[in-house]
Amino acid sequence: MINKIMISVVIPFKDNVHLLEKCVASILQKTSYFDYELILVDNDSKKKKTFEYLKSLKNNSKISVLQYEWLFNFSAINNFAVMHAKGEYLLFLNNDTEVISENWLEEMLKCFEDEKVGAVGAKLLYQNGKIQHIGVEMHPKHGPVHTSRLASEKDIDFSQSRECIAVTAACMMTRKILFNKIGGFDEQNLPIAYNDVNYCLKLREKGYKIICTPFAKLYHHESASRGSDIRKKLFDNNRYKEFLKERVYMKKKWKKYFKNDEYHANSFVEKSFLREILTKFFK
């Protein structure tokens, strides 16, 4: 029985309780899969409303709350949560997401019937129906970019699960035993960005496939809680410097993938949308 496989859903957060509440409510109310746990990882929240909400969850046996009291490090926060996870499978999820398809966990789990699948991503949409994520591909100059980002969902023919170079950990499933074997997320070199892409590429080096499925569908209010690293260029110079440092690290480490993404030629990328994003954010 597929429902006998435990999935640990890991959700890091810091305040922004309105986002967390929507995310958790959508999981509890819409998810048809039964055998899962929610691990909420609090990265030093300060607001009274946050603690009031967490208190209201105490009687729910599916939910546990962990305290991560150190400086923000996305990789470390998730690695910390995995040490407490009971599930055979891990589902990393951003707190600014909302479930759309009730069978999202079943559909992601189903992809692992192929033993060579290492990680599975979902179809993520903005609230207006535009695409936020249907897989990641490598741009030779700028590195990892989301395929067909900002394209209209109805204009993109993505009706079957497909292999891609990487997927985002805004919603990514993987086997716990494999996550630990690979060494989890890179806390030292990638505390902010690209930790998910790096993880996927490490899997690929071991011969595993990365799959994105359109049958697991969620809304993603992208970077609503932490702020886009690109946008923060204008407000937080240190954060942007760290982002650029991590991009340089990725380009050096994964040079061959920057030069040749074998899935790029067959991807659903809309060149006009890609040019729009690159021109806007990297000029």
Q: Where are the domains of the chain?
A: 2-282
State which H helix or E strand residue 104 sits in. Answer: helix 104-110
CA pair distance 214, 134, nearest whole angstrom = 7
Query: What integer pLDDT is reported at residue 280 of this predicted model?
Result: 41
> What are 71's two structure tokens?
């400086």
Local confidence band at 144 (pLDDT 50, 70, 90 cut-offs): confident
CA pair distance 148, 267, nearest whole angstrom = 9
pTM of the model: 0.88
Query: What integer pLDDT is reported at residue 125 of this predicted model?
Result: 94
Higher per-residue confidence, 44 vs 145: 44
Please state, rounded to an integer, the average pLDDT across all residues of the chain.
Answer: 87
Query: 33-68 burial by CB neighbour count: b if 16+ within 10 A, else e?
Result: bebbbbbbbbbebeeeebeebbeebeeeeebbebeb
| 196-254 per-position pLDDT tens digit | 999 999 999 999 999 999 999 999 986 544 444 445 444 466 777 888 899 899 999 99
Query: What integer pLDDT is reported at residue 273 of this predicted model?
Result: 42
CATH code at 2-282: 3.90.550.10
Closest CA to 179 of 260, 78, 255, 48: 78
